[in-house]
Structure 1
Amino acid sequence: MTKPSSPVALVVGASRGIGRQIAIDLARHGYRVVVAAKTVSDATKATAPFPPDPNSNESTITTVVREIKEAGGEAVAFQVDTRDSESVKNMVDFTSRHYGSLDGIIYNSGAVWWSSVEKTSMKRFKLLRDVNINGLYATIQAAMPHWRQNGWKGRIIVVSPPIYSRFFRGKTAYAAIKVGMSVLTKGLAMDWKQRANRTWPSRPYGLQWGFNQLRRQT
């Protein structure tokens, strides 16, 4: 059961898969959660059985909020386009305004494309860049004024890979973007070392997404 003093978490990319589960688990542990992503639906008209398959297109931020509330948690949905910095700023400002604080951000929003540079068009590469690293950068930029006001009491967890060359094989274009997210995260950790803020990269391993099956690498 949440209270007005319960911590607040913003989960970006929370409609399906990893992000959905993170949002549900945070609510289960007493967080008030802003469930953010691009996909919305009318949760009251969700097809039976409910909840929908967490890796299907039937799972949206509105169905996730319904799941959380039916389990006794507190959550609100916010539709965001992480390619648009103004949309991202509105998301962060809404979180702080709606719940009165912003204690943590989990950035899970991402576009996936596992292919060679030869088979990756500039249009595709731009989409990867805009949704992944640009969206993360815009989220951090939008959060910093709020954390400056509260004495830098904020946390960021970024779903991004470790920096090692094996990750590049067969998906160099995607890897270039995702590793950039890891570099940004590590850089922030060093920049904020003397502050209360903390940043962590977190790598999903062997989990199923609605649009892709991630395979274990040996």
Structure 2
Amino acid sequence: MTTQRLSGKVALITGATGGIGAATAELFAREGARLVLADVAEEALAALARRIEETGGQAVSVVLDVSSARQWDDAITTVRERFGTLDVLVNCAGIVDWPGIEDTREEAWDRVIDVNQKGTWLGMRAAMPLLRANGNASVVNTSSVLGLVGSGAAAAYQASKGAVRLLSKTAAVEYARQGVRVNSVHPGVIATPMIQEILDEEGDRQPDIVRTPMRRAGRAEEIAAAMLFLAGDESSFVTGSELVVDGGLTAH
């Protein structure tokens, strides 16, 4: 059963072939959104678009490296030419690097910042003219619980996700009277391929799961549901907020 909460809306989702991105795309399609799916994984992207269309949805795929301003311009041109409008931007593309301060390589630092932080800014910059023209638009940026609290590791990742949190807030203030809401989602430990190496460990070697009061990893679909709320009109008075979906991890 679907409620068509995004009926008629056009949504651009980056990182669309990842665990959270794909779950979000499939949920948005079921809720009536017309989709522009963006990722660097061309074959997986095409397969996702076919899967959505085979189940009655509408999806266009664009190959996009979110760290490239030129590729962002091309993606937005596709949105404009295909649909003429944009209601929702979901910045879901992201990569992780686990070392701490001293062990992080400079090239790894630069790549994480380019994708997670710069990519989010480039996406909002490129999409904002269409979003502002819409007058009732939503941006959902993907941060992390590691954009809220420290872990003693993943220095580049944490720096990038903390930046996404405050970038979202400053954009929310800037565009609050221009018809664009901007919020961030902060997943905890979610069972996706990006952290499979952690999920494959056992017992006390899974400290974040042990510290999560619900004592389990979350599902990508549970993050997609949070994305749906922020994308739709039910959250019409929500901007500049942090929606934490972490099983209670940051509650103590």
> Which TM class, normalised by the smaller chain length?
0.7 to 0.9
Write the deviation string for residues 123-165 of structure 1: whole angstroms up to 9, x where unpaired.
0000001111111111111112223333x43210011025533
1:132 counterpart residue number? 116
- Whether 2:105 is the aligned partner of 1:116: answer no
TM score, norm. by length of structure 1: 0.83
Is the Cα–Cα contact under 8 Å of residues 97 and 157 in structure 2 kept in the other structure?
A: yes
Query: 2:57, 2:130 → 1: CA distance?
Result: 25
What corresponds to 2:35 in structure 1? 33
Instruction: Give the partner amino acid of 1:15.
Output: T
Residue 136 (structure 2) aligned to one of 153, 156, 161: 153
Q: What amino acid is the match of 2:10?
A: V
Question: Displacement, 1:10?
Answer: 0.3
Q: Which residue of 2 aligns with 1:14?
A: 16
| Residue type at the aligned position of 1:94 | T
What amino acid does structure 2 have at the position aligned with 1:29? E
- Counterparts of 2:66 and 2:77, CA distance in 1: 14
- Structure 1: which 4+ aligned runs deviate by more than 4 Å? none
Q: Does 1:101 align with 2:85?
A: yes
Q: CA deviation at 1:97?
A: 1.7
The correspondence for 1:68, drawn from 49, 52, 67, is 52
Percent of aligned pairs with the same residue? 28
Query: Does the aligned pair in 2 maintain the 1:80–1:91 contact within 8 Å?
Result: yes
Q: Distance in 2 between matches of 1:211 and 1:159?
A: 14
Number of residue pairs matched? 196
Find the partner of 1:90 among 74, 79, 84. Answer: 74
SS of aligned partner of 2:136: coil
Farther-moved stretch of structure 1 (167-176 vs 74-83): 167-176
Q: Contact 1:114 / 1:170 at 8 angstroms: preserved in 2?
A: yes
Tell me the residue number matched to 2:189.
206
Show the counterpart of 2:165. 182
Q: Deviations over 1:185-208 (max 9, x none)?
A: 011112222232101100223322
- Give me the whole-angstrom Cα distance separating, in 2, the residues matched to 1:133 and 1:201: 13
SS in 2 for 1:155: strand
Q: Which amino acid aligns with 2:58?
A: E
| Whole-Å separation in 1 of the counterparts to 2:56 and 2:117 | 34
SS of corresponding position for 1:203:
strand
Return the offset for 1:61.
1.1
Provide the alpha-carbon RMSD of the alignment: 1.9
Match of 1:164 among 128, 148, 170: 148
User: Quick check: 23-32 or 83-92, which moved more?
Assistant: 83-92
Shift of 1:21: 0.6
Q: Is the 8 A contact 1:37 1:79 kept in 2?
A: yes
**Distance in 2 separating the partners of 1:138 and 1:174:** 18
Query: Can you give the 5+ residue segments of structure 1 that lack an aligned partner in the other structure?
Result: 42-59
Task: Work out whether residues 92 and 139 of structure 1, in 8 Å CA contact, stay in contact via their aligned partners in 2.
Answer: no
**Contact kept? 1:37, 1:81, Cα under 8 Å:** yes
Distance 1:175 1:198 in 2: 24
Q: Which residue of 1 aligns with 2:61?
A: 77
Unaligned 5+ residue runs, structure 2? 199-207, 213-252
